[in-house]
Amino acid sequence: RATADARGLTIVITAGPTREAIDPVRYLSNHSSGKMGYALAEAAVRRGATVKLISGPVSLDTPPGVERLDVESAQEMFEASRRLAEQSDVFIGCAAVADYRVEHVAEHKLKKTAERDDLTLKLAKNPDIIAEIAALDRRIRPFVVGFAAETRDLEAYARDKLLRKGLDMIVANDVSQEGLGFGADHNAALLLWRDDDRSPGRRELPAQTKQTLASAVFEAILERLTASHET
């Protein structure tokens, strides 16, 4: 099959985890390695797109030809995403963004006390980056692709996220499967997209390397983007 051409398109991709500071030396985070998002960036640049990668802290090299912007917290990722999304054709949210941050970050390192055996952290909700991008005005809104990391009822939860967050497409992955998902070199996905019909379009992509999966996902994005321009 001919490789779709993405020349002239600007793609913004978020990848990796976020870090939410507790104090100057501690943070809350997750196991995202950035591999899936970086593989997508590579796939897009290979097809001639201009790629801007907003990356949480990961230990991966920047793929050649990709412009990378490093961020730490969800709030920083949100600000960078908003700034870059407005000038892009496609926004892909592959990052594992912390839903909550620590409400009051301690100015100094928290001390263990002799008097208490417990410590309570109060969390505050972070902005939902992808939902905010999807809600941008039509004139500046890119084609928005989210991910859904689920441990059960993959399709039902992903379908709910597609509609609730106002996305054009969602890449759902079952992160409870051994050897797939967070940190792994392989992944499998269920793609769901909005169609004119009531029921969303769907395509299953079996387990494979994150590189080949990223190519297949990117092909599907280009197909849907073309279809959305034709309607």
| Minimum CB–partner distance for residue 82 and ligand PMT (Å) | 11
User: Where would I find the beta strands (DSSP E) of 133-182?
Assistant: 143-150, 169-174
* Alpha carbon distance 17, 174 (integer Å): 17
Q: Would the annotation count 112 as a binding residue?
A: no
Torsion angle defined by CA atoms of residues 146, 147, 151 and 157, in that order, rounded to the nearest 10 degrees: 30
Of 61-69, 116-124, 180-188, 190-198, which part binds ligand PMT (CB under 6 A)?
Answer: 180-188
* Alpha carbon distance 145, 193 (integer Å): 9
- Does position 128 bind ligand PMT by CB under 6 A? yes
* Alpha carbon distance 125, 101 (integer Å): 6
* Alpha carbon distance 10, 97 (integer Å): 22
Residue closer to ligand PMT (CB basis): 48 or 219: 219
Q: Would the annotation count 147 as a binding residue?
A: yes
Please identify which residue in 12, 134, 149, 192 interacts with ligand PMT, judged by CB under 6 A: 149
Q: Could you tell me the CA-to-CA distances from 13 to 126, 157, 197 in Å, in that order? A: 19, 22, 28
Residue closer to ligand PMT (CB basis): 97 or 102: 97
Beta bridge partner(s), residue 143 = 90
String of b and e for 84-119 (b: at least 16 CB within 10 Å)?
A: bbbebebbbbbbbbbeebbeeeeeeeeeeeeeeeee
- Does position 166 bind ligand PMT by CB under 6 A? no
Q: Would the annotation count 52 as a binding residue?
A: no
30 is known as an active-site residue: yes
- Does position 55 bind ligand PMT by CB under 6 A? no
Of 26-34, 64-72, 105-113, 115-123, which part binds ligand PMT (CB under 6 A)?
Answer: 26-34
**Interface with ligand PMT: number of residues (CB under 6 A):** 27
On whether the CB atoms of residues 21 and 100 are closer than 8 A, the answer is no
Residue list 80-99, contact with ligand PMT (CB under 6 A): 93-97, 99
Q: Which residues bind ligand PMT (CB under 6 A)?
A: 16, 32-36, 74, 93-97, 99, 126, 128-130, 146-149, 161, 173, 175, 181-183
- The catalytic residue positions are 30
Binding-site residues for CTP, in ranges, read 93-95, 99, 109, 127-130, 147, 161, 165
